[in-house]
Amino acid sequence: MLDLISPHAILPNLKASNKKQALQEMARKASELTGQHERAIFDVLLERERLGTTGVGHGIAIPHGKLSSLDRVHGVFARLERPIDFDAIDEQPVDLIFLLLAPEQAGADHLKALARVSRLLRDQSMCEKLRGAQSGDAMYALLTQHEPSPSN
């Protein structure tokens, strides 16, 4: 996860009353991190949601999209202050969202990143720890703890 997310990419107490607002706030954060236009990010995410919800169940959503001007895969993680309806496949409200943005040409890398995030968030004890974490730094530590650090 170290290659996907940075300590600045964590929103520990995101206030959002619905799916659209949550995606807007996350697009704003992703825009700060990537230098991409917030509107372009938001539009890509909405387009993907129209194909089918990214609410994967158990309070988790993994919205994602591709932008031609990105140089690598970027992630943004948010824990919502209050769970919201995300049209999840199990119809449960969502409170943990991991947003992924990939370059247009990143076929396999995009899928690998999605699989890694999905595997991580399928771990119930990991999700409980993320829900109980006191700060963004604690969440970042949890999200990146299972991977070897990149060699310098």
Domains and CATH numbers, the chain: 7-144 (3.40.930.10)
Task: Specify whether the CB–CB gap between 97 and 22 falls below 8 A.
Answer: yes
- What is the SS3 assignment for 26? helix
Enumerate residue ranges in the chain where pLDDT < 50.
148-152
Active site residue 8: no
Burial 13-48 (b: 16+ CB within 10 A, else e): ebebeebeebbbbbbebbbeebebebebbbebbbeb
Q: What is the pTM of this model?
A: 0.93
On whether the CB atoms of residues 133 and 142 are closer than 8 A, the answer is: yes
What is the Cα–Cα distance from 75 to 109, expressed in whole angstroms? 13
Per residue in 15-52, pLDDT (tens digit) is 999 999 999 999 999 999 999 999 999 999 999 999 99
Helix axes 107-122, 124-132, angle to 10 degrees: 80
Indicate which residue of 58, 64, 110, 146 is catalytic.
Answer: 64
